[in-house]
Chain A
Amino acid sequence: MKVVVEKHPLAIRWFHWVNFPVLSLMIWSGMWIYWANDVYRIGWGSTTLFKFFPQSFYEAFHLEHQLAQGMAWHFVLMWMFFVNGVLYVLYTAFSGEWRYLLPTRHSFREAVLVTLHDLGLYKKPLPVRKFNGAQQIAYTSVVLMGLGSVLTGLAIYKPVQLGWLTQLLGGYEMARVIHFALTVGYVLFFVIHISQVVRAGWNNFRAMVAGFEIEEVDPATHAVLAGPTALPAADASLSPAPQA
């Protein structure tokens, strides 16, 4: 029979959906800023594989000549990004949610299996748990990336008054490189995240809006028969194949 299972607490959903537009606009205004000195590329010597960014890209998204606006938005939105991020970390720490989110010593092996599974190279079922190893690593990394963006951002925003931080991060120009690379990281995260959400389906997506999932359980044993689950895993080993 189907039962309603609570998955994401309201606070987590709130932090998630505040962060999404704020980070998007941080990236957008960051592009307005970056355009004014767009020196990064992937390549070596005189060979360039990819330039950040091709002229056509700027033109398509109207990213040119917006430095002043970009800085203004960036330095307003940074407060929301920072406050939302701090509240999220505090919430996960004090609510116990961190137990689901922090990787364990098993997560890395499991993340490899999850990746292989998603690529169709590993056929056995994955662990039935709120967040699998790959998710734990991804969701913890992205929070650390957020911290990295705040620190590198401060290092290039106030490189004299926070000079110790700028020096720690390898200097003004290195801090800018890291700040940019982290932003590329968010975009990659976003692409994978969206594709995984699409794959996982409606039940999973609804949980990030409404908070619950509907799962098929055995009425006699209460064992979950189908559906991603909010249940904590019994142990780190991969769970046996569902009976259904």
Chain B
Amino acid sequence: MMDETTPPAALAPTDAPDSAPTSALPVAYDAAAEAAALRAASKRSRRSFLITGALGLAGLGGWRWLLSRPEEDGLARPLRRVLDFNGQLTTDYFQNTRLAPEFARARAQELRFNGDVGLGEDNFDPTAWRLTVQGYAPAGTAPRTQAFSLDQIKVLPRTEQTTEFKCIEGWSTIVHWAGVRLVDFLKAYPLATASGRAVADGSHPPADLARYVGMTTPDEAYYVGLEIESALHPQTLLCYEMNGQPLTAEHGAPLRLVSPLKYGVKHIKRLGTIAFTDVRPRDYWAELGYDWHAGH
């Protein structure tokens, strides 16, 4: 038995919790010693319960203090700080070479329609649609802005992937996507660097690369922000086809973002503008209390 070698726990009666135990147990029943030990024990017990109760109250007070802090984007500030810390930790650990699992195309399913913010324009005309991209311009310089038609995007190298779309609500669906990697787009149109140099490889970004990318719908009702690391990941697509068909209006035609590195909330539909920046872009759901990073 494992306990055979364990020395017995203190068995000596004590007259006070901190005093040294008396040399040995009295051989005969010693009523006075017993009474003293019990008095000391109840004093010690009372003290322990008081301290435990006080610590409990202090914890409750700390909790209430936390909740009383001013809110930052729908969250008490200390909570927001921890979420941002978690996000930074994730970004530090991030590696471009770690890929989301890909699945057999036959496993792709119909994707639930789950959000219409930014799709509300009555007279939206997909044929007249243009993607506006604002290049990265350090403070004080005028940004280069360029507009693209869908055809200009479709002639860029096409990438297909069958990945798991994960909604922040907790459900997930395997979907087959087709589009242009954002990093491939930036090879053709080097708008993410201040110098206008192309990003050859997302794993080794140049020093003058923007830190963030912000994207909005044409009506600016929906907007997301991504840190540049996720944006340049090889599975981040400017997507125009879903499960073999051109995107439908409700899934973001003519062009949407797809990235298995992020929850569905970052898969902005009906892209209007893309801007490369040094300032963390606004994010629709992050302003409503969600994690800005929302990344995998």
Contacts and interface: CB of A to CB of B under 8 A. Distances in A.
Interface of A: 1-7, 17, 21, 33-34, 36-37, 39, 67-69, 71-73, 75-76, 79, 96, 99-100, 102, 104, 106, 129-130, 157-161, 163, 166-167, 171-173, 176, 206, 209-212, 214, 217, 219-220, 222, 230-236
A100 B10 CA distance: 15
Interface string B164-180: 10111111100000000
List the 8 closest A-B pairs by CB distance, nearest first.
A37-B170, A68-B289, A232-B3, A210-B48, A36-B169, A160-B296, A3-B13, A210-B45
Contacts of A233: 1, 3
A220 B27 contact: yes
B94 A161 contact: yes
A158 B74 contact: no
Interface of B: 1-4, 6, 8-14, 25-31, 33-34, 37-38, 40-41, 44-45, 47-49, 52, 55-56, 59, 74-75, 78-80, 82-83, 86, 90, 93-95, 98-101, 164, 166-172, 260-261, 285, 288-291, 295-296
B74 A68 contact: yes
Counting chain A CB atoms within 10 Å of each CB, the highest count among B13, B40, B44, B95 belongs to B13
Contacts of B34: 1-3
A132 to B, nearest CB: 12
A102 B49 contact: no
B225 to A, nearest CB: 16
Contacts of A206: 45
B53 to A, nearest CB: 9
A41 to B, nearest CB: 15
25 contacts: A1-B30, A2-B38, A4-B40, A6-B9, A17-B52, A34-B170, A36-B169, A68-B74, A68-B288, A68-B290, A72-B80, A75-B86, A76-B82, A99-B2, A99-B3, A159-B100, A173-B172, A176-B170, A212-B41, A212-B45, A214-B41, A219-B26, A219-B27, A222-B11, A235-B1
Contact of A75 (B11, B14, B291): B291
Contact of B98 (A2, A76, A161): A161
B4 A234 contact: yes
A230 B1 CA distance: 16
A68 B75 contact: yes
A76 B87 CA distance: 12
Contacts of A166: 101
Contacts, number: 161
A76 B2 CA distance: 39
B29 A232 contact: no
Contacts of B83: 72, 75-76
Given A34-B170, A233-B1, A161 B11 contact: no
Contacts of B13: 1, 3-4
Contacts of A159: 100, 164, 166, 296
Contact of B90 (A106, A161, A172): A161
Counting chain A CB atoms within 10 Å of each CB, the highest count among B8, B33, B49 belongs to B8
Nearest to A73: B79
Nearest to B29: A219
Given A4-B37, A36-B169, A75-B82, A102 B100 contact: no
Nearest to B10: A6
Nearest to B91: A161
A84 to B, nearest CB: 13
Contacts of B170: 33-34, 36-37, 176
Contacts of B291: 71-72, 75
A233 to B, nearest CB: 5
Contacts of B55: 17
A163 B3 contact: no
A73 to B, nearest CB: 7
Given A72-B79, A104-B1, A232-B9, 13 more contacts: A4-B14, A17-B56, A36-B168, A68-B290, A96-B6, A99-B6, A158-B296, A163-B99, A163-B101, A214-B41, A217-B25, A219-B26, A222-B25
A235 B10 contact: no
Contact of A231 (B9, B78, B168, B288): B9
A99 B34 CA distance: 31
Given A72-B75, A76-B82, A1 B9 contact: no
B6 to A, nearest CB: 5
